[in-house]
Structure 1
Amino acid sequence: MRLQMVSDFDTDGTGPLFLMFHGYGNDESEMVRIIDAVYAGTGEKPDYLSFRGTYARPYMGGHYWYPDGCGVDERQRECAAVGEALTQLLNAPTFEHRRKVLIGFSQGGYLSYRLAKAHPYLFDAAILLSPSFQGEIGAQLPDSHTRFFLAYGSLDSTIPFQDQINARTVLESGRDFVHHKYPGMGHAICDEEIADIRAFLTAHK
């Protein structure tokens, strides 16, 4: 698998390197808009690799990481394939010294969770924004130094409420975890969420 992406990073940078994964039907620019909002007004520039979903959505445009409505085994298989390609990329000397932060929305949030679970000592943090979480009932995180940020809107009807509860239950088993629920927000991103992501990152510089 060859991952397609857009990137903006300083090879001599010392800050976090963001590895970003968009939601179903979108593309790599979705996450760039989000991380640019997080850093707006700070005087700092984020370093990132923002990846395009593995599959193009026919007729409708956009991309996705796994087919909508597919089974748990297929979801996990697709995420593992992305993880294999990503770890090969990150083995390059350019990236080995960087703190690596996963950030994903919806499908990309679930993918980020699976990457952190499969590679527990590779990523400094994982920011999971309205992640899909089907099929993870009873899952446990391995021993890991990854910090997790989880967020949902109170009116998110795209992700079943039980899956949202399960996401929190699973991630609470980790070493470091924060959870946010945004009143009145659906399956989306809000200004308060952007501020909370900024605070999460600032607290762990």
Structure 2
Amino acid sequence: MVMDITHAITSFTADSHEPVFLLLHGWGSNEHDLPSLLAYCAQGADYASLRAPIAYGMGYTWFGTWDYDGVPTGKSLDDQALAAGEAIDRWVGNSIAVDRPVVVMGFSQGGLLAGQMLRINPKRYAAAVSFSGFLAHGALPGDNELAQQRPPMFYGHGSADDIFPEQEVQDMISFYAAHTTLTHKVYPGMTHSICMDELKDVSTFLTDNGFVKPHIW
């Protein structure tokens, strides 16, 4: 399975050495969805927001084959997540200078892929922020190197999010706790979404790890 990224919104200059935030939207959305979040957690940061390559309804999706409720599982998920991650990695290789740190930030499907990029190319991606993401369980060649490097990762989700079974959430936590320096947060009453408290926590996470300057609320 081979796919390519053909649409993106970018806001960065070639001569800067500041981090670039790589934004990956969720199921049925598009590249216009996430850039506005940076105003609350990475104000003024350079970014590239990618459009998933598969048309779906009024938007786009990273995965095209479903097993239940719009979510692939098992080997289907592993194969599709790898194909999407490799497409993203090719786009980054062709579009962002190698000396610029890349922080991957995604929601839902994009939240899975935020972590997936650390696994696919551990040397290239400096950190990940996963909003309500989940895990592709199949092992990848980069997993051992990732466990040695342990880059910073933020994983946040709501206590009332019923999109994924609880075991999937626990598997996500366990894997990235063993492979990254994980910051894990649960937001009481939040469904499959992003809340202001979460954005404040992400702001703190990014500031503490040196990717952005402190945000003035």
1:33 matched to 2:36? The reply is yes
1:186 corresponding residue in structure 2: 191
Find the partner of 2:177 among 152, 172, 181: 172
Asked if 1:62 corresponds to 2:59, the answer is yes
Structure 1 residue aligned with 2:214: none
Q: CA deviation at 1:114?
A: 1.8
What stretches of structure 1 of length at least 5 have no aligned partner? none
Q: CA deviation at 1:92?
A: 4.2
SS in 1 for 2:194: coil
Q: Which AA in structure 1 matches 2:48?
A: L
**Which one-letter code corresponds to 1:56 in the other structure?**
A
1-side partners of 2:189 and 2:11: how far apart?
34
Q: Pairwise mapping of residues 121-136 of structure 1 onto structure 2 (< 5 A)?
A: 121-133=123-135, 136=137
Q: TM-score, normalised by structure 2?
A: 0.83
Deviation at 1:74, TM superposition (A): 2.5
In the superposition, relative to structure 1, how do residues 24 and 2 fare at CA in structure 2: closer, same or farther (>3 Å)? same
Moved more, 143-152 or 83-92: 83-92
Q: Residue 59 of structure 2 aligns to which amino acid in structure 1?
A: G
Indicate if the aligned counterparts of 1:79 and 1:115 stay in contact, CA closer than 8 A: no
The residue aligned with 1:51 is 50
In 2: Cα distance, 1:56 partner to 1:30 partner: 15
Tell me by how many angstroms 1:94 deviates: 4.6
Q: How does 1:89-168 map to 2 (within 5 A)?
A: 89-92=91-94, 94-133=96-135, 136=137, 141-144=143-146, 145=149, 146-168=151-173
Q: Which amino acid aligns with 2:39?
A: D
Structure 1: distance between partners of 2:138 and 2:97 = 34
Check conservation: 2:78, 2:138, Cα contact below 8 A: no
* 153-162 vs 137-146, which moves further: 137-146
Structure 1 residue 177 displacement after superposition? 1.1
Identify unmatched segments of 5+ residues in structure 2.
Answer: 65-69, 211-217
Distance 1:71 1:176 in 2: 26
Matches of 2:145 and 2:42 in 1, distance apart? Answer: 31
The 1:82–1:192 alpha-carbon spacing in structure 2 relative to 1, beyond 3 Å, is: same
Note if 1:6 corresponds to 2:13: no
What is the CA deviation profile of residues 50-108 of structure 1, one whole-angstrom value per residue up to 9, with x for unaligned ones? Answer: 11112111xx3111110323343232222222333333333348521101111110011
CA distance in structure 2 between the partners assigned to 1:93 and 1:85 by the alignment: 12
Matched residue pairs, number? 198
Q: Distance in 2 between matches of 1:188 and 1:2?
A: 27
C-alpha deviation, 1:34, in angstroms: 1.7
Q: Which amino acid aligns with 1:35?
A: L
Contact 1:17 1:99 in 2 (8 A): yes
Contact between 1:9 and 1:47, CA under 8 Å: does it hold in 2?
Answer: yes
Percent identity (aligned): 27
Pairwise CA distance, 1:10: 1.9
